[in-house]
Chains A and B, each alone.
Chain A
């Protein structure tokens, strides 16, 4: 965990990764109608008293959407926030349903890949299960 916090963020690498899938991901983000109809398809949303933070669209917008919005120029604090969204608030079960056909799991999975490239990921073997995020 200490190593994770020490390493500087390689924003160039993040930008490269974002650009590689820009065509697909930016279209997905752009075509999201912000209708919230994906909410009920997420079991974490229904199990957390319908807390909007667990909506699939919220998670995609505030993780990958944020990375694109900031064009990869993010600090460790932002990546840490995104880490919570893409690992704690989403288990990538793939059950989220978007009426427009946006494939939300691929967006979350891509955000996870970007975070992993910066060594930002939960290290379950090193910390207690209660505080792994």
Chain B
């Protein structure tokens, strides 16, 4: 079991993750079609702006976003989602393993920084958990599944943090870290975590007034 988790299951997880995302993409393009017309862009692109005007424009635009209604959640969720992607990809330990396995690696962040950022991610998770538990408007739409999803997202970071600091039994924690990472990868395409991909499809490809782009496709 131990060897399976540390060996073949890693490849299986990556294959399921990548094929799952491709499958979801193919299904999305099958379910949607190119639109004959597109929504006008949110801003008038022909107007040239100075740097100052751009800053003023961006600040004014923020007023119409979640930044105005819920600034704390906006910050926490932005930080969480960015670091959730950045930390595992640019983690020194992961890149050393990549180098050993495939002879290629990405640029790595200093360990001190990734350690701190992992802690930041865990604090964000605690914040989300607190919202689910104590904020009535979130609690009312929360199901057990939401806690499981939060656990799936948080577990690789929690176990990674514990493993890095060598708290508890290192081998057990490291195996758990690998296993939880594999579970996360395998569940992304087929669960709520699929919003990792669909966020971009919904906000950029499907046209509506809140689209970031022109929205060239329709269901």
Nearest B residue to A28, CB-CB:
B202
The contact of A52 among B66, B69, B141, B202, by CB within 8 Å, is B141
The answer to whether A34 and B141 touch (CB under 8 A), given A40-B70, A97-B210, A99-B66, is: yes
CB <8 Å contact, B192 and A31: yes
Q: Is B195 an interface residue (CB 8 A)?
A: yes
Q: Is B39 an interface residue (CB 8 A)?
A: no
Residues on B with C-beta less than 8 A from A52 are 136-137, 140-141
Nearest A residue to B194, CB-CB:
A31
CB <8 Å contact, B140 and A58: yes
* Distance between Cα atoms of A113 and B131 in the complex (Å): 34
* Distance between Cα atoms of A99 and B201 in the complex (Å): 12
Residues on B with C-beta less than 8 A from A101 are 198-199, 201-203, 206, 208, 210-211
Instruction: Classify chain B's interface size.
Output: 20 to 34
Residues on A with C-beta less than 8 A from B69 are 40-41
Q: Is B59 an interface residue (CB 8 A)?
A: no
A77-124 contacts to B (CB < 8 Å) = 97-103, 106
Q: Is B82 an interface residue (CB 8 A)?
A: no
A35-56: CB near B (< 8 Å → 1, else 0) gives 1110111000000001011010
* Distance between Cα atoms of A24 and B29 in the complex (Å): 11
Q: Is B84 an interface residue (CB 8 A)?
A: no
Most buried by A among B141, B143, B202, B206: B141
Residues on B with C-beta less than 8 A from A61 are 141
Residues on A with C-beta less than 8 A from B31 are 23-24
A14-42 contacts to B (CB < 8 Å) = 23-24, 27, 30-37, 39-41
Task: Quote the shortest CB–CB distance from B130 to chain A (angstroms).
Answer: 13
* Distance between Cα atoms of A73 and B69 in the complex (Å): 39
Q: Is A63 an interface residue (CB 8 A)?
A: no
Q: Is B75 an interface residue (CB 8 A)?
A: no
CB <8 Å contact, A24 and B141: no
Can you give 5 A-B contacts (C-beta < 8 A)? Answer: A36-B137, A55-B137, A57-B141, A101-B202, A103-B202
Residues of B within 8 A of A (CB): 27, 31, 66, 69-70, 73, 77, 131, 135-138, 140-143, 146, 191-192, 194-195, 198-199, 201-203, 206, 208, 210-211, 219
